[in-house]
């Protein structure tokens, strides 16, 4: 496994997708998803200059924060339970806010922490029953409520997970997510800057459709990429 080579290749593929879409490569952040990686592999990523890392589960994220120190930016990308919010103070960005009780708990905790917790609102853009996230039609009102009622919760954009189908077939879903992102941002006049979409098997299409952050796990640790 050659992580250095995989990182270089993925960055290059992101840059090429940006060029195809008339975007600047530095508009897209690479979030390295480390949920299946060994500590050794994570250390290798850090040594390569990767600073933005993501874990699915709160406890795994906390362990890695403790192991690798505070200079990194850890994101929580997986579903968050309300009873785990109290452990989330040090996550730079939570990608999975999708219901009001969770927002209320984040508000309560973040106020006590004396910070604004940055979050993304997760949208279930494909409507698959197995996926978490708000229905697209509910997202604007939800964001409006957070903005109004939760001063310690700061939304920075949307996160979505595309259906597990051929990369080219996911394009309409990414396009729909981008349109929703732009609509909410404009209608509510928010200073949003993050559209989190695209994973190992579909990130180039996501970048072409406007992703500003891609969440890449397995492609970083593959034998051949
Ligand atoms: C695991 C995971 C990823 C990374 O998936 P890969 O296909 O391994 O790149 C991205 N986003 C979420 C929400 C995940 O749970």
| Residue in 199, 205, 207, 221 to alter for ligand 1 test, most ligand atoms within 8 A of Cβ | 199
Inside any domain, residue 63 = yes
| Separation in Å, CA 162 to CA 11, 39, 123, 187 | 21, 28, 10, 25
35 lines ligand 1 (CB under 6 A): yes
| Residue in 167, 217, 218 to alter for ligand 1 test, most ligand atoms within 8 A of Cβ | 217
Distance CA 80, CA 56 (A): 9
How does pLDDT run across 128-185, given as a tens digit for each residue? Answer: 988 899 999 999 999 999 999 999 999 999 999 999 998 789 999 999 999 999 999 9
pLDDT recorded at residue 95: 98
pLDDT category of residue 27 using cuts at 50, 70 and 90:
very high
* pLDDT of 225 strictly over 50: no
Domain that holds residue 187: 3-220
* pLDDT of 72 strictly over 60: yes
Closest-lying ligand 1 atom to the alpha carbon of residue 96 = 13
What mean pLDDT comes out for the span 53-78? 96
Inside any domain, residue 176 = yes
pLDDT recorded at residue 49: 96
Distance CA 103, CA 85 (A): 10
* Ligand 1: centre distance to CA 176 (Å): 20
Three state DSSP letters for the chain: CCHHHHHHHHHHHHHHHHHHCCCCHHHCEEEEECCCCCHHHHHHHHHCCCCEEEECCHHHHHHHHHHHCCCCEEEECCCCCHHHHHHCCCCCEEEEECCHHHHHHHHHHHHHHCCCEEEEEEECCCCCCCCCCECHHHHHHHHHHHHHHCCCEEEEEEEECCCCCCHHHHHHHHHHHHHHHHHHHHHHCCCCCEEECCCCCCHHHHHHCCCCEEEECHHHCCCCC
200 lines ligand 1 (CB under 6 A): yes
* Ligand 1: centre distance to CA 159 (Å): 12
Contact 58, 79 (CB under 8 A): no
What mean pLDDT comes out for the span 16-44? 97
- Token pair 């984040």 is found at 106
78 lines ligand 1 (CB under 6 A): yes
The number of distinct structural domains making up the chain is 1
* Ligand 1: centre distance to CA 95 (Å): 12
Closest-lying ligand 1 atom to the alpha carbon of residue 200 = 9
Mean pLDDT of the chain: 96
More confident residue, 131 or 210: 210
Inside any domain, residue 49 = yes
Closest-lying ligand 1 atom to the alpha carbon of residue 77 = 13
| Residue in 215, 216, 219, 222 to alter for ligand 1 test, most ligand atoms within 8 A of Cβ | 215
Inside any domain, residue 156 = yes
CATH number of the domain that residue 152 is part of: 3.20.20.10
pLDDT recorded at residue 224: 63
What mean pLDDT comes out for the span 201-217? 98
| Separation in Å, CA 65 to CA 52, 69, 72, 91, 224 | 12, 6, 8, 9, 29
| Three-point CA angle 96, 193, 17, nearest 5° | 95
Inside any domain, residue 225 = no
Distance CA 99, CA 114 (A): 22
Q: Whose C-alpha lies nearest to ligand 1, atom 5?
A: 217
């Amino acid at each position: 496994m050659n992580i250095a080579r995989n990182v270089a290749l993925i960055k290059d593929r992101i840059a090429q997708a940006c060029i195809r879409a008339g975007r600047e490569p530095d508009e897209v952040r690479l979030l390295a998803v480390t949920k299946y990686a060994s500590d050794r592999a994570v250390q290798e990523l850090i040594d390569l200059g990767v600073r933005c890392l993501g874990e699915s589960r709160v406890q795994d994220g906390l362990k890695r924060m403790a192991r690798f120190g505070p200079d990194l930016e850890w994101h929580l990308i997986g579903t968050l339970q309300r009873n785990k919010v109290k452990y989330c103070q040090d996550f730079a960005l939570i990608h999975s806010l999708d219901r009001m009780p969770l927002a209320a708990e984040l508000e309560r905790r973040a106020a006590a922490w004396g910070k604004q917790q940055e979050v993304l609102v997760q949208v279930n853009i494909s409507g698959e029953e197995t996926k978490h996230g708000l229905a697209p039609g509910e997202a604007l009102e939800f964001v409006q409520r957070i903005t109004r009622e939760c001063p310690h919760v700061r939304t920075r954009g949307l996160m979505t997970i595309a259906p597990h189908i051929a990369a080219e077939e996911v394009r309409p879903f990414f396009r729909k997510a981008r349109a929703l992102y732009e609509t909410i941002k404009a209608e509510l006049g928010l200073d949003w800057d993050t559209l989190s979409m695209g994973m190992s098997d579909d990130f180039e299409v996501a970048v072409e459709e406007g992703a500003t952050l891609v969440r890449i796990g397995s492609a970083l640790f593959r034998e051949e990429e």
